[in-house]
């Protein structure tokens, strides 16, 4: 209870610093609630076989390939970490995956991913479950059905590339099991980042240490080989600690070109006040509901 109280106080201070003092000021978006029955169905649906057979959520526009910039590094497959996992869902009855991560929160049940991974074409994805640390058919920290989805109104209205982020909740205090990442707001564009995601093969995630920079207004970019469609939603971490698998998340693979048309170039919406407002709404909703 003490840790939760400290985090609630920290959220209140952060909100006050940015002039956000109520849920109404945080955001006008409305969270999509997943029924208890649907959560149970999701748990039953995601068997190891279905997870292994899932394919990336294909959102690219398939631009013609180009040569990568000189010095572009290549990501490495590894066995994963607890703060990042595969985000499974169904679209039209077909099994797909993206990437999501645990973000530190007062209620200890909050995830971060790309908005296009959970909402598109006027509908929410179905059967959404988060499997932290997933690799080789193993769910070392369990399977967590999503209980609510929060995307920005601007994403729902027009798929605004600068709002391609979403906050999800799960049932239970996942943060107590996996740890989490600090949400970094207005940290600038130029960083050494560690980026993790589940690429075209869900059986192992990919990790890369590279450099981020500004690509477009309110859009960050990094270059690293191996980042295909399934990496959408993957966190961009600064101050990364390899022992805990955590850091400060300043972006997610998404935004321009739904995260990038080439496997060596990825994008993210810049995390500023709209991101903070959506995060704070997710926090307000949870804290004030129980």
- Nearest Cα to Cα of residue 46 among 11, 9, 1, 90: 90
Closest CA to 143 of 57, 38, 47, 34: 47
- Per-residue pLDDT band for 253 (boundaries 50, 70, 90) equals very high
Could you read off the pLDDT of 90-133 as tens digits, one per residue? 998 899 999 999 999 999 999 999 999 999 999 999 999 999 99
pLDDT digits (tens, 9 = 90+) for 209-236: 999 999 999 999 999 999 998 999 999 9
As a whole number, the mean pLDDT across the chain is: 89
- CA 27: distance to chain centroid? 19
**Where are any strands of DSSP class E within the chain?**
32-33, 55-56, 76-77, 84-91, 94-102, 110-113, 119-120, 123-124, 126-132, 144-151, 166-170, 182-183, 191-198, 205-216, 219-223, 235-241, 246-252, 265-269
Predicted model pTM? 0.90
């Amino acid at each position: 209870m003490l840790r939760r109280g400290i985090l609630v106080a920290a959220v209140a201070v952060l909100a006050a610093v940015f002039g956000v003092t109520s849920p109404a000021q945080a955001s006008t978006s409305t969270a999509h609630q997943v029924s208890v029955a649907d959560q149970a169905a999701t748990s039953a649906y995601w068997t190891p076989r279905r997870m292994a057979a899932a394919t990336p959520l294909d959102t690219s526009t398939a631009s013609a390939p180009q040569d990568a910039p000189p010095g572009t590094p290549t990501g490495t497959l590894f066995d994963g970490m607890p703060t990042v996992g595969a985000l499974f869902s169904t679209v039209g009855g077909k099994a797909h995956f993206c990437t999501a991560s645990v973000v530190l929160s007062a209620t200890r049940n909050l995830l971060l991913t790309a908005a296009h991974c959970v909402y598109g074409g006027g509908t929410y994805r179905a059967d959404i479950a988060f499997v932290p640390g997933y690799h080789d058919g193993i769910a070392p920290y369990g399977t967590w059905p999503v209980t609510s989805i929060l995307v920005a109104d601007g994403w729902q209205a027009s798929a605004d590339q600068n709002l391609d982020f979403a906050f999800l909740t799960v049932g239970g205090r996942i943060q107590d099991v996996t740890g989490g990442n600090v949400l970094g707001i207005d940290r600038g564009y130029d960083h050494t980042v560690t980026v993790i995601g589940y690429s075209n093969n869900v059986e192992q995630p990919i990790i890369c240490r590279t450099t981020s920079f500004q690509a477009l207004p309110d859009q960050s970019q990094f270059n690293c080989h191996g980042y295909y469609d399934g990496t959408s939603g993957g966190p961009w971490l600064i101050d990364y600690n390899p022992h805990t698998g955590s850091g400060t998340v300043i972006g997610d693979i998404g935004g321009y070109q739904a995260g990038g048309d080439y496997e060596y170039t990825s994008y993210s919406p810049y995390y500023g006040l709209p991101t903070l407002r959506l995060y704070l709404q997710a926090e307000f909703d949870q804290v004030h509901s129980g």
